[in-house]
Amino acid sequence: MQTVVLAAGQGTRMRPLTDATPKPMLRAAGRPLLEHTLDRAADAGASRFVVVVGYEADQVRDHFGDSHRGLDIAYAEQTAQRGTADAVRAAAPELDDAPFVVLNGDALYDPESLATLYDSGPAVGSYRVDNPSNYGVLQLDSDDNTRVTGVVEKPANPESNLINTGSYVFPATAKDRLDVSTSERGELELTDVLETVCGETTVTAVPFDRWLDVGRPWELLAATEWLSESLSRRLDGTVSDGATIEGDVVVEAGATIKAGVTIEGPAYIGEDATIGPNAYIRGATAIGAGANVGHAVEIKNSVLLSGATVGHLSYVGDSILGRGVNFGAGTTVANLRHDDKPVEVTVKGERVSTGRRKFGVVVGDKAKTGINTSLNAGVVVGTEMTTTPGEVLTRDRRE
């Protein structure tokens, strides 16, 4: 089935990681989020893709080209991000007069549930959450609890905890329903199209066993943890006889694992990365292409994007380091509050709970720390920011 994948947004809640990278192109377990979405859609029954691009569109085009796993990819550009209905409207000229699927390129859908969605159209993916007020809550027919009658965006007093996952199977006629009015949020919403279609035909709520909206930095960690469950041991790089590799660890070609290194999987080591000597990597960790983890460094349950360097004598836990980050010797990351409450992070000017007992730091591309820097749990270091030797950073440094 033809599938529209939305990948035009920047992802402002993910800053500074998206200062120069579109959110769907952030990597989890070694590959862009968008690639994981395309893979799962291909397995579920996609016949071709229309990828809607916008922010840093060339990064998407350059990575995927005109096909993925043998399926054609067409691109539609959303020049201004005015909402999801506008994004699908940009894709409409590339669609045949047939039913079509819409997915978010920065979300993870469990494969089995996604396959059920493809087979159940017209349909919308549903999921039960603890905080439904943050999402669109689906309304169901009182006589048929699988039939969707509407959706209420971010209600103050939600009727249920069943939310819209942003995954749809629309009938062909939905292409003619994309001219919607601007919502109170100032956007053209695809949920308005869904409500119109619900009034014209039966739309089924397909429950997802697992789903993740990757919108904020700690959710990139959660995505890496989920995707790492599917890693299969593969050692294509150079692994020293003096290294210990345990569990499902992927070492890509060109990567080097030096003597004294211990890696406890699941873990992903990208091409041309260098680990060690005497480094310790554990948890669901992903080390990007060309990254460097040096002598006596411990990396726990973290993501290091391409070219990041933690040279020696440092600890990084439950953190995300952007491209080209350089941690000076002795840099230490705190990842636990003394009161044992969930770590908070500032997102778009507001303190937000990560819901995680352990969470370290978020560091933008090309940031650098001086030797013996200490970074407190929940700190955000902006793109190209620096610290001085011996500095203790307890607050964000964004500019």
Tokens of 117: 């969605």
What's the 3-state SS for the chain?
A: CEEEEEECCCCHHHCCCCCCCCHHHCEECCEEHHHHHHHHHHHHCCCEEEEEECCCHHHHHHHHCCEECCEEEEEEECCCCCCHHHHHHHHHHHCCCCCEEEEECCEEECHHHHHHHHCCCCEEEEEECCCHHHCEEEEEECCEEEEEEEEEECCCCCCCCEEEEEEEEECHHHHHHCCCCCCCCCCCCHHHHHHHHHHHCCCEEEECCCEEECCCHHHHHHHHHHHHCCCCCEECCEECCCCEEECCEEECCCCEECCCCEEECCEEECCCCEECCCCEEECCEEECCCCEEEECCEEECCEECCCCEEEECCEEECCEECCCCEECCCCEECCECCCCCCCEEEECCEEEECCCCECCCEECCCCEECCCCEECCCCEECCCCECCCCCEECCCECC
Task: Report the C-alpha gap between 312 and 329 in whole angstroms.
Answer: 5
**Radius of gyration over every alpha carbon of the chain, rounded to an integer in angstroms:** 22
Query: Considering only CA atoms, which of 276, 316, 282 is closest in space to residue 296?
Result: 276
Q: Which residue in this structure is represented by tokens 């391409």?
A: 306
Active site residue 312: yes
The residues that are catalytic are 312
